[in-house]
Structure 1
Amino acid sequence: MTRQPRPIPPHQARPPMGWNSWDCYGTTVTEDEVLANAVFMRDHLLAHGWDTVVVDIQWYEPTARAHGYNTDAPVVLDAYGRQLPAPNRFPSAAAGAGFAPLAQRVHDLGLRFGLHIMRGIPRRAVAARLPVAGTGFTADEVADTGSVCPWNSDNYGLNHDHPGAQAYYDSQVAQFADWGVDFVKADDMLFPYHEREIAAYALAIERSGRPIELSLSPGTDVSLARLDHLREHATMWRICDDLWDRWEDVEAQFARMARWAPWQSERGWADADMLPLGHVGIRAERGEDRLCSLTHAEQTSLLTLWLISRSPLMMGGDLPTSPPETIDLLTNDEALAVLWHSRDNREVLRERDLVLWTAGDVDGRTRYAAVFSLADAPSRVAVPLGSIGAGADHHVREVWTRGDVPHDGRDLRLELPAHGACLFRLTPPGTPA
């Protein structure tokens, strides 16, 4: 049976969905590559809820390279120490235009435009004692030179006991708003947890007058104890370090998302990280040019976990050169409905290699269940219907295969591949298709 997709909820009522340049292009993405992915998204993914294009780190670095960062990089700054796109990579940014022309082209495709930024103020602005826009202060006065990122040498932190620190963030975000930025991924915010930096950045967004979503990374020092602060200031926050196309990375997310899933809501989203699917590693930080190293079963498990735990979805592979099988996974509306319409999502069983998750639907009748095998070999499992919230008369549909699943009124009997998953829609009699 072909089912009509349910309407996609308003953007603020669901986790963000988009494409990010990091997994395929690392620090080196170009304007043409961003636009190629934006056009593909418009043509193939927008109708399925994917609507945000994000330029990741070092867009202001003209000498950026694959597999790492340049020390003392010659970052492009304006007269007030604010980053500007490197014109050799983003030609439309010439003559001080910034990202405004590129953002407009993305908007003209019906999409939203986002960018990555590092915490703090560029070290080159501090060394040059550049003025902070709208103040009588200079960069060296507002910087905290003892606060540095352990993996990127571009910036110092800000001294938030100095009024010029907030003024710097205000001016930076005001420029982003003028360019038409809709989404900011702010990095080096969560390791350790920089409470004052996060609050200052959120305030700068509020003062900009533009509804910019704030995403926080990298996530290695974030806990549920921070939930209220995170919800107050951000749209989404990472709960791990960078995730790549390795099963051990995916498997580690089961425990993390089990902790966070009960708290997911329009008040904010715990982020299991980008989807390293399709064509990755083209000029990336890790690995060589390749298709995703996860098996198809592992890719299905990854997406199933992200959906049932309601994580944001940020595709990391290059869309135009990813295989059709990847695009099919990303555009399965029956599966995406779990992300959009589920509630009360939680892990309900973890026994040896078997993991079960359940969720309800906002319609009050439909239920969802995900069955995962963490085993290294194919396995047969019998899942009692009661353990996933279904009765003997429930209709069971597996949404990845788009097929109805017979059962004996007691158990679902499944054959799962190594590291495989099934995602079920469970409906009582009389539920509309």
Structure 2
Amino acid sequence: MGWNSWDCFGTTVTEAEVLANAQVMADRLHPAGWDTVVVDIQWYEPTARAGGYNTDAPIDHDEDGVQQPVLARFPSAAGGAGFAPLAARVHELGLRFGLHLMRGIPRRVVAADLPVRDEAGTVVATTAEIADPRSTCSWNSDNVGLDLTHPGAQVWLDRQIDRIVGWGVDFLKVDDMLAPYHTDAIEALHRAVSRAEERHGREVLISLSPGTHLSLAHLEHLRAHADMWRISDDLWDRWQDVRAQLGRLARWAPHQGPDGWADADMLPLGRIGLRAERGEPRDSRLTVDERRTLLSLWCLGRSPMFVGGDLPSSDEDTLTDLTRTDVLAVGRHSTSNAELLREDDLVLWGAYGTGPEQGTAWAGVFSTADEPCRHRVPLTSTGLDPVAEITEVWSGAPVRPDAAGDLLLDLPPHGVALLRTR
């Protein structure tokens, strides 16, 4: 659970903005379990702009071709310090620090034909020799792939990841890995991160993106080589984006667990689009009901949760919803999470409590209708205790079955009733 700079600042986030969001997270969200602050793409690109990417953009890098923070945006990186000072300040707030990377090696580093040295300082290749210029990303031109049949490619990748982890990075979001599925790059990244963890004595979580058309056929490979993986393309503040995740999470929820987590993407909530890829500065266009549907679904599906809004300028109601521990408990302390029923405009989910929530059962009743709708749900379909009191979590209101044993739920457009028995 954390914050990511993409939805609000796109490619242009600054150190001051990262720290401002980290401070709000520490003060407001951390007590509810939010703990990670992530700087997204192009922190190394000096000409980065809102609204897209520059073709063949310049890259700030060191003598080994490892990307470096742009000093104009991250002044504490001066003197070759990299992100170490910023990571230290985030850690002082009791939070973890995360960073975005693209698959492969910067094309500007390839063009510079820099020497690739092993740990003994011996030149084993050049950056041009270890690159695969045919392996490109369809939506960003910063990098080309590594030719992982060349032993020097792993040497360079190990150096890159070791240097970044040495800054104090706890979380790596690595993009252009899953669509198409790059088996060799995923395995090479895992090797590099494992070696850096051992060297620096710290745990680093691996998050893979994007998940366009990601298949369950890759489940065991993902579990062996990553901590979380996206199951969709970018999600924005549109109902159709949220609705599409109902089906995706239904496929992946039965497989969630400590071996790895399917990620339904960032939460486009609060104040977004300040300098983003899409849209003008705005409060999230999701309604209150759609926001609560999103949060309920991510918790019932046990997806990682990274809010994308600028926390200092987000509205109080959004921050309050993000810190509802009775809702967040569903994602943190549940098992047997699954879609139970899908019929017409009704989608029904269920889950059972574990740990401190042992004995609790939850049911999520989602209305995909575009108009207010009364849904009749047989209590026996929900998995809830038929003799226990039922509470709707968001409102705190009691819910009672009728004489036939059915729940009659009046839901707003795209709304949810999150039900609980203890």
Partner of 1:321: 313
1:177 is matched with which residue?
165
Question: Whole-Å Cα distance in 2 between the matches of residues 133 and 280 of structure 1?
Answer: 42
2-structure distance, mates of 1:68, 1:425:
43
Partner of 1:227: 219
Alignment match, 1:413 = 408
TM-score normalised over the length of structure 1: 0.93
SS of residue in 2 equivalent to 1:415: strand
TM-score normalised by structure 2 residue count: 0.96
Aligned match of 2:32: 48
Question: Residues 365 and 421 (structure 1 numbering): CA distance in 2 closer, same or farther, change over 3 Å?
Answer: same
Identity of aligned residues (%): 60
Match for 1:399 among 382, 393, 398?
393
The residue type paired with residue 306 of structure 1 is W
Aligned pairs for 1:137-156 within 5 A: 137-156=125-144
Asked whether the equivalents of residues 171 and 205 of structure 2 are also in contact (C-alpha less than 8 Å), the reply is yes
Structure 1, unmatched stretches of 5+, are 1-16, 428-433
Q: What is the aligned partner in structure 2 of residue 335 from structure 1? A: 327
Match in the other structure for 2:418: 423
1:184 and 1:212 in contact (8 A); partners too: yes
Count of paired positions: 411
Q: 2:82 aligns with which of 93, 98, 101?
A: 98
> C-alpha distance in 1, partners of 2:171/2:420?
32
1:158 paired to 2:152: no
Tell me, yes or no, if structure 1 residue 376 matches structure 2 residue 370.
yes
Whether contact under 8 Å (1:193, 1:221) holds in the other structure is no
Where 2:206 maps in the other structure, the secondary structure is strand
What is the deviation of 1:103? Answer: 0.1
Partner SS for 1:136: strand
Alpha-carbon distance in structure 2 between the residues aligned to 1:151 and 1:73: 13
Deviation for aligned residue 1:391: 3.8
Give, in angstroms, the shift of residue 126 of structure 1. Answer: 0.6
Is the contact made by 1:219 and 1:238 (CA closer than 8 Å) also made in structure 2?
yes
Q: Which amino acid aligns with 2:314?
A: S
- Contact 2:361–2:385 under 8 Å retained in 1: no
Identify which of 25, 40, 45 aligns with 1:61: 45
Match of 1:217 in 2: 209
2:178 maps to 1:190: yes
Distance 1:390 1:289 in 2: 42
Equivalence for 1:4: none
What are the Cα deviations for residues 150-187 of structure 1, in whole angstroms up to 9, with x where unaligned?
11111110011000111111111101121000000000
1:319-365 CA-to-partner distances (Å, cap 9, x unmatched) read 01000110111000000000011101000100010000001111552
- 2:64 aligns with 80
- For residue 386 of structure 1, the aligned residue among 362, 380, 383 is 380
Whichever residue aligns with residue 404 of structure 1, its letter is: P
Could you list the runs of 4 or more consecutive aligned residues of structure 1 that deviate by over 6 angstroms after TM superposition? none
Supply the distance in 2 between the matched residues of 1:63 and 1:202 (Cα, whole angstroms): 31
How many Å separate the matches in 1 of 2:245 and 2:384?
Answer: 26
**SS at 1:259's partner residue?**
helix
1:129·1:139 contact (CA, 8 Å) conserved in 2?
yes
Residues 358-391 of structure 1, C-alpha deviations (whole Å, 9 max, x = no match): 0111155211100000000001112111101124
**Residue type at the aligned position of 2:271:** H
Alignment partners' CA distance in 2, 1:145 and 1:345: 43
Secondary structure in 2 aligned to 1:320?
A: helix
The alpha-carbon deviation at position 396 of structure 1 amounts to 0.9
| Counterpart position of 1:274 | 266
When the two chains are superposed, the root-mean-square deviation of aligned CA atoms in Å is 1.0
Instruction: Measure how far apart 1:73 and its partner are.
Output: 1.1
2:301 is aligned with what amino acid? S
- Given candidates 23, 26, 41, the residue that maps to 1:39 is 23
Determine which of 21, 41, 51 is the counterpart of 2:5. 21
Q: Structure 2: how far apart are the matches of 1:266 and 1:329? A: 26
2:300–2:350 CA contact under 8 A, matched in 1: yes
Determine the C-alpha separation between the residues in 1 that align with 2:145 and 2:395.
49
SS across alignment from 1:344: strand
How far apart in 2 are the matches of 1:33 and 1:380? 44
Q: C-alpha displacement at 1:211, in angstroms?
A: 1.1
Per the TM alignment, residue 426 of structure 1 is displaced from its structure 2 partner at its CA by 1.5
Q: Contact 1:205 / 1:211 at 8 angstroms: preserved in 2? A: no
Deviations 1:115-155 (A, max 9, x none): 00000001111101012242421100110010000111111
The answer to whether the aligner puts 1:117 opposite 2:109 as a matched pair is no
- In the TM superposition, 1:255-274 aligns within 5 A as 255-274=247-266
CA positional deviation for 1:221:
3.8
Give the partner amino acid of 2:215.
Answer: S
More moved, 238-247 vs 407-416 = 407-416
Task: Note if 1:70 corresponds to 2:54.
Answer: yes
